[in-house]
Amino acid sequence: MALDTPNGFGADAASLTDGGALPIFDVQRVELQFSVAADFVAAQVANNVLILALSNGRILRIDLNRPEDIDDIDLPKKPSEVGVIRRIFLDPTASHLIVCTALGENYYLHSQSRQPRPLPRLRGVSIESIAWNPALPTASTREILIGASDGNIYEGYIETATEFYRKEEKYLKSLEKLPDGPITGLWVDGLPGRAADMRRVVIGTQSRLFHLVGKVGKGHDGSGSIYSKLFDGEQPVVHELSRSSAPAASALVVSPDPPDAVRFRDEVPPERSFAWLSSHGVFHGKLLGSPAGSELGTKVFNESKLIPKAQIASQEGAGGRRGAAMEGIESIALTQWHIVCLVGGRIVAANQLTGATVYDQMVLNHGQKALGIYVDVQKNTFWLFTPQEIFEIVLTDEDRDIWKIMLKLQQFDAALQYAHTPAQKDAVAVASGDYLASKGSYNEAAGVYGKSSKPFEEVALCFIDNNQPDALRKYLLTKLGTFKKSSVMQRIMIATWLIEIYMAKLNSLDDTIITGAELSETLNPAQTKEQLDTVRSEFHDFVNRHKGDLDRKTVYDVISSHGREEELLFYADAVNDYNYVLSYWVQRERWSEALKVLKRQTDAEVFYRYSSVLMTHAATELVEILMRQGNLKPRSLIPALLEYDRNFKGPLAQNQAVRYLQYVVNQLASTDSAVHNTLVSIYASHPSKDESALLAYVESQGDEPSFDPDFALRLCIQHHRVLSCAHIYTSMGQYVQAVDLALAHNEVELASIIANRPMSNPQLRKKLWLAVARKVISQSNGIKTAIEFLKRCDLLKIEDLIPFFPDFVVIDDFKEEICNALEDYSRNIDSLRREMDDSSQTAANIKVDIAALEHRYAIVEHGEKCYACGLPLLSRQFFVFPCQHAFHSDCLGRRVLEQAGPAKAKRIRECQVQVSKGLVKGVRREEMVAELDELVASACILCSDYAIRRINEPFVKEEEDLSEWAL
Pairwise CA distance, residues 882 & 856, whole Å: 9
Confidence of residue 317 (pLDDT cuts 50, 70, 90): very low
pLDDT (0 to 100) of residue 7: 40
Q: Please determine, for residue 263, whether its predicted confidence score (pLDDT) is greater than 80.
A: no
Of these ranges, 77-81, 300-304, 668-672, 812-816, the one predicted with the greatest mean pLDDT is 300-304
Local confidence band at 19 (pLDDT 50, 70, 90 cut-offs): very low
pLDDT value, residue 825: 65
Summarize pLDDT for 445-458 with one digit per residue, the tens: 888 888 888 898 98
In the 8-state DSSP scheme, what is residue 32?
P
| Amino acid present at 883 | C
Alpha-carbon distance of 349 to 332, in angstroms, equals 9
HSE-up of residue 556 (Cα within 13 Å, Cβ side): 10
960 falls in which pLDDT band (50, 70, 90)? low
Q: Give which of 678, 769, 662, 681 is closest to 724, Cα–Cα.
A: 681
Least confident of 122-136, 238-252, 877-891: 238-252
DSSP states along 486-501: T-HHHHHHHHHHHHHH
Q: Is the model's pLDDT at 165 over the cut of 60? A: no
CA pseudo-torsion sign 487, 491, 494, 497: negative
Residue 468 CA to residue 462 CA, distance in Å, equals 9
Say if strands 85-90 and 169-177 run parallel, antiparallel, or are unpaired.
unpaired
Residue 764 pLDDT: 64
CA torsion through residues 613, 615, 620, 625, sign: positive
Residue type (1 letter), 429: A
- Entry pTM: 0.59
H or E stretch at 853: helix 815-853
Q: What average pLDDT does the segment 484-513 reach?
A: 88
- Does position 168 have pLDDT exceeding 80, yes or no? no
Rg over CA atoms, the chain: 60
What is residue 128's predicted lDDT score, i.e. its pLDDT?
96
Q: Which amino acid is at 755?
A: A
SS3 905: helix
Band of residue 572 on the pLDDT scale cut at 50, 70, 90: confident
pLDDT: which is higher, 193 or 377 = 377
Residues paired with residue 394 on neighbouring β-strands, in sequence order: 26
- List Cα–Cα distances, 896 to 617, 900, 935, in angstroms: 86, 6, 9
For 276, 663, 665, the CA distances from 634, given in Å and listed in that order, are 90, 10, 10
pLDDT at 12: 41
pLDDT of residue 422: 87
pLDDT band at 246 (very low <50, low <70, confident <90, very high): low
Query: How many other CB atoms sit within 10 Å of the CB of residue 307?
Result: 23
Q: Would you tell me the crossing angle of helices 488-515 and 525-546 to the nearest 10 degrees?
A: 160
The strand pair at 140-148 and 127-131 is best described as: antiparallel
pLDDT on residue 322: 45
Alpha-carbon span 62 to 71, nearest angstrom: 7
Domain boundaries, the chain: 873-956
CB 396 within 8 A of CB 24: yes
Q: What is the total residue count of the chain?
A: 967
**Res 141: pLDDT:** 92
Q: Measuring CA to CA, which residue among 123, 160, 143 is closest to residue 225?
A: 143
CA nearest neighbour of 27 among 39, 10, 48, 51: 10
pLDDT at 945: 77
User: Rounded CA gap, 786 and 772, in Å?
Assistant: 10
What was the pLDDT predicted at 10?
43
| pLDDT given at position 321 | 42
CA 346 distance to own-chain centroid: 61
Tell me the one-letter amino acid at 152: N
Name the residue among 3, 62, 6, 2 with its Cα closest to residue 33: 2
818 confidence band (pLDDT: 50, 70, 90): low
Mean pLDDT of the chain: 82
Determine the Cα–Cα distance for residues 504 and 498; give it in Å rounded to an integer: 10
- In the chain, % of residues over pLDDT 70: 82
Closest CA to 623 of 614, 633, 631: 614
Whole-number pLDDT of residue 178 = 93
* Neighbour tally for 785: CB within 10 Å: 13
Q: Say if CB 802 and CB 783 are below 8 A apart.
A: no
Is a pLDDT exceeding 70 seen at residue 379? yes
- Residue 201 DSSP SS3: strand
Q: Taking residues 39-64, what's their average pLDDT?
A: 93
- Measured CA to CA, the distance from residue 562 to residue 176 in angstroms comes to 79
pLDDT at 772: 67
* Burial class of residue 545 in the structure, from the number of CB atoms within 10 Å of its CB (0-12 exposed, 13-18 middle, 19+ buried): middle
**Is 158 within 8 Å of 107 (Cβ atoms)?**
no
Residue 285 has pLDDT above 90, yes or no: yes
- CA–CA dist 176, 151 (Å, integer): 8
